[in-house]
């Protein structure tokens, strides 16, 4: 019974199916199906065909492609009551970017049909692909707790697609029908299968697909944040062990601490990319991507068919990201670079620690910084693509990131003629600023960033108005020259008060202050706990706690899906790409793929 809606509405006998296809053929045309459909929609919506073509081809907001040409959405509508325009706006606002539904719209309305394949095969392929996309989207929603779990995603997908397939066929047979009527029928039909309560809150990158071949931290932290924003992130890993960060340790219920942090919200597909079948699967996967990210060793991307120029020559709307040690060109272009190497070559290690005792910052600054520059570039490229239809070729080098962040130190070296020495827990550009031990054995971080703050610190906190008026300390430059003297005075004062008393005094003088915390001190930090910043994240070993992303945006819901096991989604993604059970079986037999 599960397939009855499809059987009765779409394919009740080969004869009926063929009659529908024969009638649709003259309307669509063997070589102009996509352009014909898009032109009809564009005319009705009053927008450019080129703009719609980009929207459909890149799996963007399908409903918005029509609605954006009309009056802006009214957020006052909170349900599906009212006129058809109101219903459409709710559809657009609530799930136009949800995975599955966007892919379904893409397949139904804008698939670039293969002119060399028989027409009935193309239509059946559209049905199969649409069901797979929608079913996958429903399953992800169920795992995240956003959809009801008492339904079979496959059955639900087939029911919805059967109705929509019938609507689409009717429209193709009568292309003069207003496109708004078609969308209205779509809305009414869909309401019979998905209730308002099942729809997710807005995630800004829903509908964007990211394919990433990545290791360690720099690329994974970029793609994790894309996943946090709702993008579908498919992580392609080596079938033998996967991302090597998986093996750094087993501290988090059997999974490494780094991998758990940087890899939630992802699907793991484990393949032997050197095998022809694995390489072919990667090509098929990349062909469906909006964004392709890689941080492979120099030369490896080209060998795997991920050369950015070739990918974008075939698909100009694609956004590619290459993360490397030293960027494009230059004598170090082929050099490998890990966080410590990039920070050493880039100079940040030399300005960390103490004089004569340089230190690498504990946070992997080069990795994280590179990942965040890649993230901001991808978001900018997606925004630009909305305007132009063109993707982007992005390259980010870790060395360039570190040296960009060395701006203060580089300016001092170039224009003042000396290299800044590291000074521990302090800040070379300003004084006084540092860590001071209090009477109860705590570490208070206290200091100033301008002359007015120095006046308040000296007079109101230290009780030393004489220091506030001393000309030796009048300017920041003067105070930096007498840093040791001032640190001694502040240290003597701190030793007479508790941390609580010191922080209260600083607060009353409107000065910044902090406690020098250890990682364990942050686990129950009230600034997180009282703002509900921790979330439970599933991992292969069980649920763990992870922090939400730092930005707070009204109306957005951050995605916090699981950290995947190696190869957990391999078979499902291959099936979604159109691989048959026999083909997957062959890949399994030839050790091309890995499963948990």
Least confident of 108-117, 147-156, 338-347, 409-418: 108-117
Query: pLDDT at position 139, please?
Result: 73
The mean pLDDT value of the chain amounts to: 78
Query: pLDDT at position 368, please?
Result: 97
Q: Could you read off the pLDDT of 494-544 as tens digits, one per residue? A: 999 999 999 999 999 999 999 999 999 999 999 999 999 999 999 999 999
Q: Could you read off the pLDDT of 372-424 as tens digits, one per residue? A: 999 999 999 999 988 888 999 999 999 999 999 999 999 999 999 999 999 99
Percent of residues, the chain, with pLDDT higher than 90: 59
For 301-348, what is the HEC assignment?
HHHCCCCHHHHHHHCCCCEEEEEECCCCCCCCCCCCCCHHHHHHHHCC
The percent of the chain in helix, strand and coil, each rounded to the nearest 5, is: 50, 10, 40
- Band of residue 293 on the pLDDT scale cut at 50, 70, 90: very high
Q: Could you read off the pLDDT of 563-576 as tens digits, one per residue? A: 999 999 999 999 88
Q: Is the pLDDT of residue 48 over 50?
A: no
- Across the range 323-349, mean pLDDT stands at 93
Q: Could you read off the pLDDT of 12-25 as tens digits, one per residue? A: 333 333 443 343 33
| Helix (H) / strand (E) containing 393 | strand 392-397
Residue 270 pairs in a beta bridge with 237, 594
Percent of residues, the chain, with pLDDT higher than 70: 67
Least confident of 57-66, 105-114, 164-173: 57-66
Region of 152 (left: φ > 0; alpha: ψ -120 to 50; beta: rest) is beta
Query: pLDDT at position 96, please?
Result: 37
Residue reference for tokens 């202050």: 513
Residue 252 pairs in a beta bridge with 255
Task: Check: CB of residue 215 under 8 Å from CB of residue 296.
Answer: yes
What CA–CA distance (Å, rounded) separates 84 from 105?
Answer: 19
Q: Could you read off the pLDDT of 212-238 as tens digits, one per residue? A: 999 999 999 999 999 999 899 999 999
Q: Could you read off the pLDDT of 158-175 as tens digits, one per residue? A: 666 655 555 555 544 454
- Closest by CA position to 366, among listed 416, 405, 321: 405
Peptide bond preceding 432 in cis form (omega within 30 of 0): yes
- Band of residue 124 on the pLDDT scale cut at 50, 70, 90: low
Task: Check: CB of residue 202 under 8 Å from CB of residue 557.
Answer: yes
- Across the range 582-593, mean pLDDT stands at 95
Kindly tell me the sign of the dihedral angle through the C-alpha atoms of 36, 40, 45, 48.
positive
Measured from the Cβ of residue 143, the count of other Cβ atoms closer than 10 Å reads 13
Q: Is the pLDDT of residue 28 over 90?
A: no
Query: pLDDT at position 555, please?
Result: 72
- Band of residue 51 on the pLDDT scale cut at 50, 70, 90: very low
What's the alpha-carbon Rg for the chain, to the nearest Å? 29
Q: Which of the two residues, 76 and 558, has the higher pLDDT score?
A: 558
With 0.85 as the threshold, say if the pTM is over it.
Answer: no
Q: Is the pLDDT of residue 106 over 50?
A: no
């Amino acid at each position: 019974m599960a397939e009855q809606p499809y059987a009765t509405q779409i394919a009740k006998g080969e004869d009926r199916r063929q009659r529908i296809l024969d009638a649709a053929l003259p309307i669509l045309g063997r070589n102009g199906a996509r352009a014909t459909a898009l032109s009809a929609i564009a005319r009705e919506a009053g927008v450019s065909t080129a703009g719609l073509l980009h929207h459909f081809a890149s799996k963007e907001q399908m409903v918005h492609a029509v609605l954006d040409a009309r009056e802006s959405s009214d957020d006052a509508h909170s349900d599906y009551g009212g006129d058809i325009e109101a219903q459409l706006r709710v559809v657009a606002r609530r799930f136009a970017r949800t995975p599955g539904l966007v892919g379904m719209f893409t397949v139904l309305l804008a698939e670039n049909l293969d002119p060399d394949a028989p027409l009935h095969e193309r239509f059946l392929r559209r049905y199969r692909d649409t069901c797979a996309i929608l079913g996958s989207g429903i399953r992800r929603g169920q795992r995240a707790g956003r959809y009801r779990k008492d339904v079979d995603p496959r059955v639900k997908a087939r029911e919805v697609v059967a109705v929509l397939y019938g609507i689409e066929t009717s429209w193709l047979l009568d292309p003069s029908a207003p496109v708004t009527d078609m969308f209205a029928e779509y809305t009414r039909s869909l309401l019979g299968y998905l209730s308002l309560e099942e729809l997710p809150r807005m995630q800004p990158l829903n509908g964007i697909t990211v394919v990433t071949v990545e290791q360690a931290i720099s690329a994974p932290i970029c793609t994790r944040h894309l996943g946090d924003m709702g993008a579908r992130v498919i992580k392609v890993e080596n079938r033998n062990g996967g991302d090597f960060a998986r093996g750094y340790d087993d501290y988090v219920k059997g999974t490494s601490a780094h991998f758990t942090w940087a890899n939630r919200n992802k699907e793991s597909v484990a393949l032997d990319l050197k095998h022809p079948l694995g390489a072919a699967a990667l090509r098929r996967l990349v062909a469906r991507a909006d964004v392709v990210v890689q941080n492979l060793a120099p030369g490896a991307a080209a060998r795997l068919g991920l050369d950015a120029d070739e990918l974008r020559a075939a698909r100009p709307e694609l956004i590619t990201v290459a993360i490397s040690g030293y960027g494009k060109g230059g004598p170090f272009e082929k050099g490998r670079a890990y966080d410590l190497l990039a920070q050493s070559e880039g100079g940040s290690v030399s300005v960390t620690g103490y004089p004569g005792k340089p230190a690498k910052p504990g946070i992997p600054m080069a990795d994280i910084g590179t990942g965040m520059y890649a993230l901001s570039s991808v978001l900018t490229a997606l925004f630009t693509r909305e305007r132009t239809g063109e993707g982007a070729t992005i390259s980010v080098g870790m060395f360039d990131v570190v040296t960009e962040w060395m701006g203060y130190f580089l300016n001092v070296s170039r224009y003042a003629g000396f290299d800044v020495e590291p000074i521990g827990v302090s800040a070379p550009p300003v004084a006084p600023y540092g860590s001071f031990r209090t009477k109860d054995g705590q570490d208070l971080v206290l200091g100033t960033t301008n002359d007015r703050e120095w006046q308040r610190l000296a007079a109101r906190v230290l009780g030393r108005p004489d220091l506030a008026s001393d000309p030796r300390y009048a300017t920041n430059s003067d105070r930096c020259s007498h840093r040791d003297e001032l640190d001694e005075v502040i240290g003597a004062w701190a030793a007479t008060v508790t941390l609580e008393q010191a922080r209260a005094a600083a607060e009353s003088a409107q000065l910044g202050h902090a406690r020098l915390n250890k990682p364990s001190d942050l686990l129950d930090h009230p600034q997180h706990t009282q703002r509900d910043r921790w979330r439970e994240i599933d991992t292969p070993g069980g649920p763990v706690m992870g922090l939400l992303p730092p930005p707070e945006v009204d109306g957005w819901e951050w995605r916090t899906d699981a950290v995947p096991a190696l190869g957990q989604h391999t078979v499902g993604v291959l099936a979604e790409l159109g691989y048959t059970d026999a083909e997957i079986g062959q890949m399994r037999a030839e050790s091309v793929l890995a499963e948990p």
